[in-house]
Structure 1
């Protein structure tokens, strides 16, 4: 009779763990199809054609700004490359350059983070097209206790932090935090 009770308790715990699962909100996956938006830690390559003194790499600071010559601080957080290029062009046109041609691209993405049941938890450089599985491989792979079927990914979308449990084949974004849970059995 003792082994039946042990099985019943184990099943109750397993089902209780599943009851707390909430699928990620639609925005969690929809953001993967949107243009990339800058945030703190991104290094941007900004080219002002025929202006070599302005062409350089600029880092988005903790407050979400880049310090750009002549126009000082320019907000970059939440903006796409086209939006930031247009804003810089407008600011430079306002008394500095006649018809500036500005291009913005990501020189280096902000890192992603891996935590939980991986061999080397930490911060790693992001490369476009990565999946959670790739990120875990970079972090040394799963520990013997790691749940290899699903992970929790936390990401910021439009200023809101969202977490979703997804398969390891799901894509990740720069700035994501991947958490590998311990498997139950």
Structure 2
């Protein structure tokens, strides 16, 4: 993680904590319970081009870099980056929609395009060389906080492992998952012991999710938020 990413991560964490503090000062009216022991709904971006869907393979998105190989035709093999419109530009076939598709789907599309006019029985392979469109943020009491690419189906516990595990001072009952849903931020509080034992379902993560792990005993706005809500609960935060 470079210095800029680290700085942005810290700014994001501070913003989240300030938002929670603002909510806490509003009393019970500042947070609306929408369930207990349930999973957070999928984010708004689930149906958008390039969004990662937790129930399927990774879906390509803007700024992802992919390598396309056509067996036996070196001139058609190249690395390309998906543009902001979700398209790639290739020899012979021109602009091709790639955003929102899985790798197998794109391989089938390219095979069909090349076979329709240019090649006989083409064998097309697509490989993602750089994941850039879907990322998650891990902050707080983890060993390596930062912004990480979401390269496939990833759960909350797996995300903690990606960040090299919890800091020794982490509060096991203070793991908060933030997500943008219908234009509003939602949060779910989890206890690591319940997740590890299977008492609570390990939730899937989506692009732009933020996981914040509280430090045990610290006197922060996040601590006050966690102590004011059920150990496993979902809340709509109007900030």
Structure 1 residue 92 corresponds to structure 2 residue 111: no
Map 1:6-45 → 2, pairs under 5 A: 13=27, 15-21=28-34, 24-25=40-41, 31-45=53-67
Q: TM-score, normalised by structure 1?
A: 0.64
Map 1:116-127 → 2, pairs under 5 A: 123-127=147-151
Q: Which residue of 2 aligns with 1:170?
A: 203
Q: Where does structure 1 lack aligned partners over 5 or more consecutive residues?
A: 1-9
Shift of 1:107: 2.3
Map 1:1-185 → 2, pairs under 5 A: 13=27, 15-21=28-34, 24-25=40-41, 31-110=53-132, 111-114=134-137, 123-128=147-152, 130-132=154-156, 135=159, 138=163, 148-154=174-180, 164-166=186-188, 167=190, 170-173=203-206, 175-178=207-210, 180=212, 182-184=222-224, 185=227
Shift of 1:83: 1.7
Give the conservation status (yes or no) of the 8 Å contact 1:153–1:179: no
CA spacing shift, 1:26–1:125, aligned 2, 3 Å: closer
CA spacing shift, 1:161–1:98, aligned 2, 3 Å: farther
Shift of 1:75: 0.4
Give the conservation status (yes or no) of the 8 Å contact 2:177–2:209: no
CA spacing shift, 1:125–1:78, aligned 2, 3 Å: closer
CA RMSD of aligned residues (A): 4.0
Higher helix share: 2
CA spacing shift, 1:93–1:127, aligned 2, 3 Å: closer
Distance in 1 of aligned mates of 2:185 and 2:116: 42
Q: Where does structure 2 lack aligned partners over 5 or more consecutive residues?
A: 1-23, 47-52, 193-201, 214-221, 228-239
What do residues 136-164 of structure 1 show as CA deviations (whole Å, max 9, x unaligned)? 674997899xx832211348xxxx87865
Give the conservation status (yes or no) of the 8 Å contact 2:176–2:211: no
CA spacing shift, 1:93–1:129, aligned 2, 3 Å: closer
Number of positions where the alignment pairs a residue of Structure 1 with one of Structure 2: 168
Give the conservation status (yes or no) of the 8 Å contact 1:118–1:139: no
